[in-house]
Structure 1
Amino acid sequence: MALDPVPPIGGAPLALFFTQVGVLLLMATLLGRLAVRLKLPAIVGELLTGVILGPSLIGHSLPQVASRLFPHSAEQAHLLDAFGQIGVVLLVAITGLQLDTRLVRKRAATAARVSLPGFLIPLALGIGVGSLVPASLLAESSDRTVFAMFLGIAMSVSAIPVIAKTLMDLGLLHRNVGQLILVSGTVDDVLAWLGLSVVTAMATTGVHAAGLAETVGYLLLFVVGSLFVGRPLVRKVMRTTAKSAEPGVTLGVTVVIVILFSVTTHALGFEAIFGALVAGVLIRSGGKDVLTRLAPLRTFVMAVLAPVFFATAGLRMDLTALADPMVLATALLLLLIAVVGKFAGAFIGAWSSGLSRWEAVALGAGMNARGVVEVIVAMVGLRLGVLSTAMYTVIVLIAVATSLMGPPILRMAMSRLEVTAEEQLRRAELDDTLDRDGRAPVPHG
């Protein structure tokens, strides 16, 4: 017996959804460009879009306007969330495309000595503070252990997209320390995604030894399977698409692969974005022709999907929560822990590797930027019910603050380091590569 087809979405909800996306994208684009003109990361303006339209400003001062544009309707909110989730999955996949695994293998020993303290120290500090945060700041359904673990992960992340953009803007991508920052940040990011996957599983299945062992087992199985089965298969598929005269084939297949990997990790109880990250790393193995064909996808994601996602992330912030002395004190303490923990960890790792004081300072400044990654982590915590609105707001503010303080400190430290002959050669090779790609050479540092 045939079932009646599901009726399409009604006119009013669809019109409102289109309006929401249009308003968010317009404001995020304008404020993002304004932020760039002010020498700030674009994400600052994109998040500010949500802050203005959300409960922090419009929702607080003009509640009727806010309720008409963003009504308290689960179905309507889910439409916007679904749009944002597509954006964040593709954004994380593009981050995976930027991870140079050959560079990681080449400088693995030094990167490990730098990145591990830079990851473990803020992780331990975050877990410690998470165990002491007043119960009033926890979400109603949040387990204290899961919350503490989640806070530790949020404190320990770095953000490869922010780090790479900062190094390029400052003309430091060719410097030895710049390369080491990139590799060490990559190691930190991978560890953070693995940790986030485990904490996500703990939040959904509960905290018990058997469940944790099963979670780690599934995680290892997925990673090993991706490495030994997924990698050659994805490489072959992507190289085959690169032979097509139509570039759209490569783009379409890429999105399919990202979605399949995301669905797989989600089905295993992990975050879909971890699967997207792995998919991006594997797609990169298809070669330069594949990466060139994916340039339009990157442009669309960065110019359309990502700004809307970060604007929706800002919608969930409530800066009025900082009027509570307890929330404000917690925010300042966590910011101090995030900065000191990452700086101390990276500095200790660099110092123990025989690097100079200013090289160690530069590494700490570069890896301290959390930006995009910490915002995504915060959104995951809010969706899982691990974070309250107040704690979510605090973590996003930390992401913005650490991204703002990195460039000036990095510029100051690198100005005290002489440029070597090896770096000058790498500079020339980088300029040549960028010229062939049709882009202007990065500015000299």
Structure 2
Amino acid sequence: MTITETFLLALALVMGLPWLVWRLLRTDNWMPLVVVQIVAGVLLGPGVLGAALPQVHDFLFPPGVIAALNGIAWWAVMIFVWLAGIELDLHQAWVARRETWTTAGLALVTPLVLGALAAALILTQPGWIGAKGQHWQALLGMGMACAVTALPILVLLMDRLAILRQPLGQRVLRYASLDDIAIWGVLALILLDWERVERQAGFLLLFPFVAWGLRAVMRRIGGRDRLYLGMLSLALLGFAADWAGLHFMVGAFLAGAILDKQWFDEAQMDMLRDHMLLTVMPVFFLSTGLRTQWDMGGFEVIGGALLLLAAAVVGKLAGVALAGRLLGWPKGEAGVIGWLLQTKALIMIIFANILLDRQIITGTSFTALLLMAIGSTMLTMPMVRRGLAELTQR
């Protein structure tokens, strides 16, 4: 077959298999479609399909097909990160600053510390730090991966739970949005490249002027022109950030963060997010799965994933519980918020992909982080549903 035919066959498998599993097994209450797509990507990767049926794997995913899939995945995930940046509402965070900063801070720092401790234990073994990574970069990167909240997936899950536009949902968005800023800031620190420090300094110095100019133009236009200009700025800022050595995802997030949410139609942006999840994000999840490796053996990888999962979940729940006690929240509310904020999925996978791209972590570390993200997100829906039911009964 031609490379085009192979690409379309692989695409049909990527789009069809997760949807059939999700629909036929009715997994939505414990494994949303996005999680099924991630799991399917892992199963189709070299660690499972490649090991069991190497000829089938090589036939479906030759280098040309993988290159085409990666191109779609890059643009899809850039748009998703851009949407996450737009979701930031710093004005509301400032209005409720004591509650927001206390909760967001504790929800970030506590799992970061526990995750770093778990990573310190894991990194005592060889094979977890990448060829170009230093110990502190891998330690901080894996620790921050435990603290990440997947804002786009969080929005999707809260919409399914019918709490997105309620006061509780809006509070959770504020907490997650502030943590998003910290996450990308820490990533920029980890990726700091002293060989390109002049480029990075230039990017950071010029960015405020670019942001001011873009915002000025956005105020003067409307309708679809704002979306077109948003896509253009997304591509250019992604290029500039990557050229400076900060990675194009940092640029994608900044491209969205400098825009005001009210400049865009809320229903249309929600629809764009849903359509992205339906049409192109499965390609990103497949390309992620194709990067999983089991070089050290399943036991070591799964053991590392479980340790990181425990640090992430316990850290997030403990941090939010402490915030709830300090702020005097009603009983049970901290548990619901904590379980929502420990959702990992997309943003953590992006974060880990970047660390792997820059060879800060190895494929083994990436696989453990990916499994941790899957486990974390699978826990969210059942635990939050139970918590919301208990809150309603009180």
Q: Please say whether Structure 1 and Structure 2 have the same fold, judged by a TM-score greater than 0.5.
A: yes
Does residue 367 of structure 2 align to residue 393 of structure 1?
yes
**TM-score scaled to structure 2, two decimals?**
0.87
**Equivalent in the alignment of 1:164:** 155
* Residues 246-285 of structure 1: per-residue CA shift (max 9 Å, x gap): x4x4443221111111112212221211211221233445
- Closer, same or farther in 2 for the Cα pair 1:360/1:297, shift >3 Å? closer
2:16 to 5, 10, 26: 26
**Equivalent in the alignment of 1:282:** 258
Tell me if structure 2 keeps the 8 A contact 1:167–1:173: yes
Does residue 236 of structure 2 align to residue 260 of structure 1?
yes
> What is the identity, as a one-letter code, of the residue corresponding to 1:315?
L
**Equivalent in the alignment of 1:184:** 175
- Closer, same or farther in 2 for the Cα pair 1:36/1:311, shift >3 Å? farther
1:86-165 to structure 2, matched below 5 A, reads 86-133=75-122, 134-165=125-156
In the comparison of the two structures, how many residue pairs are matched?
391
- Closer, same or farther in 2 for the Cα pair 1:37/1:412, shift >3 Å? closer
Once the two structures are overlaid, the 10-residue window that deviates more, 292-301 or 61-70, is 292-301
**Equivalent in the alignment of 1:304:** 279
Tell me if structure 1 keeps the 8 A contact 2:88–2:261: no
Tell me if structure 1 keeps the 8 A contact 2:203–2:240: no
**Equivalent in the alignment of 1:60:** 51
Which ranges in structure 1 are unaligned for 5 or more consecutive residues?
Answer: 1-10, 421-445
Distance 1:219 1:35 in 2: 48
Distance 1:303 1:407 in 2: 20
Tell me if structure 2 keeps the 8 A contact 1:342–1:367: yes
**Equivalent in the alignment of 1:443:** none
From the CA coordinates, give the structure whose radius of gyration is larger: 1
Distance 1:25 1:361 in 2: 35
RMSD: 3.0
Displacement of 1:338 in angstroms is 0.9
SS of equivalent residue, structure 2 residue 258: helix
Displacement of 1:375 in angstroms is 1.1
Percent identity between matched residues is: 24
Displacement of 1:29 in angstroms is 4.4
> What is the identity, as a one-letter code, of the residue corresponding to 2:143?
G
Distance 2:150 2:314 in 1: 17
Distance 1:305 1:393 in 2: 22
* Residues 168-226 of structure 1: per-residue CA shift (max 9 Å, x gap): 2222235443322221111111111111122122xx548xxx96xx799667646xx44
- Closer, same or farther in 2 for the Cα pair 1:302/1:332, shift >3 Å? closer
Which ranges in structure 2 are unaligned for 5 or more consecutive residues?
Answer: none
- Closer, same or farther in 2 for the Cα pair 1:378/1:32, shift >3 Å? farther
Tell me if structure 1 keeps the 8 A contact 2:111–2:146: yes
Displacement of 1:22 in angstroms is 4.1
- Closer, same or farther in 2 for the Cα pair 1:401/1:332, shift >3 Å? same
SS of equivalent residue, structure 1 residue 137: coil
- Closer, same or farther in 2 for the Cα pair 1:337/1:345, shift >3 Å? same
- Closer, same or farther in 2 for the Cα pair 1:396/1:18, shift >3 Å? same
> What is the identity, as a one-letter code, of the residue corresponding to 1:86?
W
